Amino acid sequence: MKHTLSGRISSGPSFLLRTELLDPQFAYEAEHLLPYYVKIERTLVAEYARMRLISPEQTRELDGLLAGATREVITGQQQANMSDIAFALERHVEAGLSAPVPTWHLDRSRNDLQACAQLMFGRGRLIGAAESLLEFQEAARQLAEATTDLPMPGYTHHQAAQIITPGFYLAALSEHVQHTLRRLLATYDGFDACPLGAGAMSGQELPWDRDRMASLLGFRRAQPNALMSVASRGWALEITAEFGVFGVALSRFATDLLAWGSSEYGFIDLPDELSGISSAMPQKKNFPILERIRGRSAHLSSFHIDVTLGQRNTPYSNTVEVSKEAGAHVYEAFEALRSTLRLFTEVLRHLTFRADRMAEVCEREFLGGFALANSLTLAEEVPWRRAQVIAGRYIVAAVAAGRKPADGDPELLRAAAEAEGHVLRDPARTLGDAFDVGRALRRMKSSGSAHPDAVGAALRAQRDEHERLVREWAARAATARATGEDGNGHASAP
């Protein structure tokens, strides 16, 4: 008798369905999900044995056949199994049995099997993403530590505003990465719940030990609701959402580096091997890697939108639309993050700041206007808003007189104050070192400021948090490795 997979339909998929839908899906799952499917099937065999539905001899034979279900073996049987990886595994095992095992695959559904394999894949890849983020954050922090005393102009509204340092700026990047790592850790723990044992949607009739299966597969717990187990792909939404949010931040940091690397600024440089040239203008040294980083970060948002729209307005149950189409580009989302971070990490490891160009701008611009307004209020008791007006008048007068910021002129300050109806007691003392580039950083007193000591304290706290996050993610990775996932977030071969 011909062995069929269903009595409901009389023929297999058409050529069109195979080439457009089933074969590409099969190839993807054989490449990325097969080891998870095998691990799940072996866990289910252990459960059949616990429930005494199969004998010890049958258990060993089934487990051995599953262990031999390599990609090459399964792919060779693709056409006979409706290009479905679950059916392919089933056929592979049945073909190798010395005698039929009637109770194998009893009380089973592909729905929770598939949901579990996809979730294990997402879990493993998220661990790999965290490792890339930790490496990137470490590169940002190390460069920050090396540049905490190097004055540079900080910009607001695209105008030079106050003196900061590369270390202060990069500490913000490092802090942002740690924030993302904490959010992803919470996301990981939130979806670390095993769907296996949910069946098609409402549970199963046999007394499956779902907690035991969850433990064998490296999950912290079983997903408590059967419907949520098979209907939800919230983990893909949450991961890609975090990637998208982080990608927005990366684009903003990359935008600053692109500006700072332009000929108008000239604040940064990269070695020749990370640079590009113009085909027509030999004087140019371009930094296309920064353009690539910024452009590639946009994909992170687009992949989240893809997952969102794929799930939106679908029934809350297991559907191919959600389980397959909505997740069609999740792999690419992980790859886009990995590639973007790899490029950006390399940039940070080789980036140099040009102290002369940055100092030139700091000394050219009147970046001490804020400090002067503070001094007018504190030393001369000028109301704050009026102090802002006087400081602005002084800067306009100094520029008109051809003065540099360092060439303070108390008489110009006196005149600016008198124009606003204030007589200064000691304009020279009030003017003081408001426009001194070297003093600008040390003048800051609040925590989290650009003062080198404050930046150093922030970086030390980040180092401690980095070590904590390394331990937290290493603990998740250790569990994943114990269940057949390698340290890069990929499933290992069975």
CB 307 within 8 A of CB 327: yes
Residue 52: count other Cβ atoms within 10 Å of its Cβ. Answer: 9
Q: What does the alpha-carbon distance between residue 90 and residue 6 come to, in Å, rounded to a whole number?
A: 13
pLDDT digits (tens, 9 = 90+) for 323-335: 999 999 999 999 9
Tell the residue number behind the tokens 């080789």, with chain if given.
350
Helix 452-482 × helix 166-191 angle, to 10°? 30
- Which amino acid, residue 8? R
Tell the residue number behind the tokens 């607001």, with chain if given.
156
CB 151 within 8 A of CB 354: no
Cα 133 to Cα 172, 174, 246, 250, 463: the distances in Å are 15, 10, 11, 12, 14
Has residue 494 got a pLDDT over 60? Answer: no
Q: What does the alpha-carbon distance between residue 415 and residue 394 come to, in Å, rounded to a whole number?
A: 8
Residues 6 or more apart whose Cβ sits within 8 Å of residue 315: none
Hey, which CATH number is domain 368-434, 3.30.70, 1.10.40, 1.10.10, 3.30.310? 1.10.40
Question: Which band of pLDDT confidence, cut at 50, 70 and 90, is reported for residue 484?
Answer: low
Question: Which band of pLDDT confidence, cut at 50, 70 and 90, is reported for residue 2?
Answer: very low
What does the pLDDT read at residue 83? 76
111-150+165-353+453-482 folds as Fumarase C; Chain A, domain 2 (1.20.200)
What does the pLDDT read at residue 482? 72
Has residue 434 got a pLDDT over 80? Answer: yes
Residue 401 tokens read as: 């007189």
Question: Which band of pLDDT confidence, cut at 50, 70 and 90, is reported for residue 303?
Answer: very high
Mean pLDDT confidence for 236-244: 98
What does the pLDDT read at residue 14? 87
Has residue 38 got a pLDDT over 90? Answer: yes
pLDDT digits (tens, 9 = 90+) for 85-108: 999 999 999 999 999 999 999 999
Locate the domains of the chain by residue range. Answer: 15-106, 111-150+165-353+453-482, 368-434
- Taking the CA atoms of residue 399, residue 451, residue 166 and residue 240 in that order, the dihedral angle to the nearest 10 degrees is -120
Residues 6 or more apart whose Cβ sits within 8 Å of residue 8: none
Mean pLDDT confidence for 57-70: 96
More confident residue, 277 or 16: 16
Mean pLDDT confidence for 444-456: 95
Question: Which band of pLDDT confidence, cut at 50, 70 and 90, is reported for residue 3?
Answer: low
What does the pLDDT read at residue 391? 96
Residue 123 tokens read as: 């879990």
Mean pLDDT confidence for 57-82: 85
Length of the chain: 494
Question: Which band of pLDDT confidence, cut at 50, 70 and 90, is reported for residue 492?
Answer: very low
What does the pLDDT read at residue 1? 38
What does the pLDDT read at residue 275? 81
Tell the residue number behind the tokens 């950006």, with chain if given.
344
Q: What does the alpha-carbon distance between residue 304 and residue 333 come to, in Å, rounded to a whole number?
A: 8
What does the pLDDT read at residue 7? 56
Mean pLDDT confidence for 380-405: 96
Tell the residue number behind the tokens 């993403």, with chain if given.
129
Cα 366 to Cα 88, 260, 450: the distances in Å are 72, 20, 18
Mean pLDDT confidence for 439-455: 95
**What pTM value is reported for the model?**
0.92
Has residue 483 got a pLDDT over 70? Answer: no
**Average pLDDT value for the chain:** 92
Mean pLDDT confidence for 353-380: 96
pLDDT digits (tens, 9 = 90+) for 247-273: 999 999 999 999 999 999 999 999 999
- Which amino acid, residue 171? A
What does the pLDDT read at residue 479? 86
Question: Which band of pLDDT confidence, cut at 50, 70 and 90, is reported for residue 5?
Answer: low
β 285-286/276-277 pair status: antiparallel
Mean pLDDT confidence for 327-349: 97
